[in-house]
Chain A
């Protein structure tokens, strides 16, 4: 949790109404920060991105759609494990409850798009429309991160929107772009934003 500044920077006597304005600003700032979920894992994101790069490289070399999908599903399971472990570790280190108020809001906003993505994966696979999966994954993961990110630091929803842009490119671009776009999103963005979050927001 980012700390709030307790003392006004100016020790000069100030007018009563100015003090009131400062107090209202302080209350708003405290409420905003108290509602932020700050256990988003930076280094965990780098780990997830590394898994994404390896998965994109391996999946692109598979001969058929089943194996391509199996590689990405295996990578997803690994990435979820890394994310859960690193979030729990970051929360424990900061002395905050992972599923306390902000954490619960983050999880409840993150899950619906992800569940929608899982259901669409099954449906599109059964319909033989595997080429659409890259767009669905990028768009819905981006939507999950962008919506849940409203309860976190500002960089998180920005990351979600970047994923959504890649999803739109996958949706309207040729299928031959899919592996590159997945590598850029689940590899490149995850690593890049992970490093930024780790540096600016405590690991």
Chain B
């Protein structure tokens, strides 16, 4: 999905809180956001080890989250080795919280008589 479509989805999910946030509904992106929720920062390699995925796949999903404003990405050098560090934004934390609320509401709806 191109970034413009991403923004459309995000606008739609904000307009209707009952609708699922498709940006973090996808497993890799959900894992990135969840992992960053319990760590101030994580490097690209740390996320790659956690998700056991390819460089390309992780890059694509991280970029989607970055475009949505859910995470920030800082690139630097450690000696001569490039280092990419990700951090969750307040907007990303709120999105995860909304997603958790949404999942809990779905479960409650089934369990309540």
Contact = CB atoms under 8 A, between A and B. Distances in A.
A34 B109 CA distance: 30
Q: Which of B45, B46, B96 has the most CB of A within 10 A?
A: B46
A127 interface: no
B89 interface: no
Interface string A1-37: 1111011000000011100110110110011011100
Interface residues of A, number: 27
A100 interface: yes
Contacts of A34: 34-36, 38-39, 42, 50
Interface of B is mostly: helix
A174 interface: no
Contact of A100 (B46, B53, B104, B111): B46
Interface stretch (A63-71, A91-99, A115-123, A161-169): A91-99
Interface in A95-127: 95-97, 100-102
Contact of B100 (A24, A95, A96): A24
B106 A20 contact: yes
A135 B60 CA distance: 54
Tell me whether chain A's interface is mostly helix, strand or loop, or mixed: helix
Interface of A: 1-4, 6-7, 15-17, 20-21, 23-24, 26-27, 30-31, 33-35, 94-97, 100-102
Contact of B103 (A7, A23, A31, A95): A23
B: contact size bracket: 20 to 34
Contacts of B107: 17, 20-21, 24
Contacts of A96: 43, 45-46, 49
Nearest to A5: B52
A1 B50 CA distance: 6
A156 to B, nearest CB: 18
B31 interface: yes
A6 B40 CA distance: 22
The 3 A-B pairs of least Cβ separation, nearest first, read: A95-B45, A3-B52, A34-B35
B110 interface: yes
Looking at B36, B37, B103, B109, the one whose CB has the most chain A CB atoms below 10 A away is B103
Given A16-B106, A100-B46, A23 B30 contact: yes
B74 to A, nearest CB: 13
B39 A17 contact: no
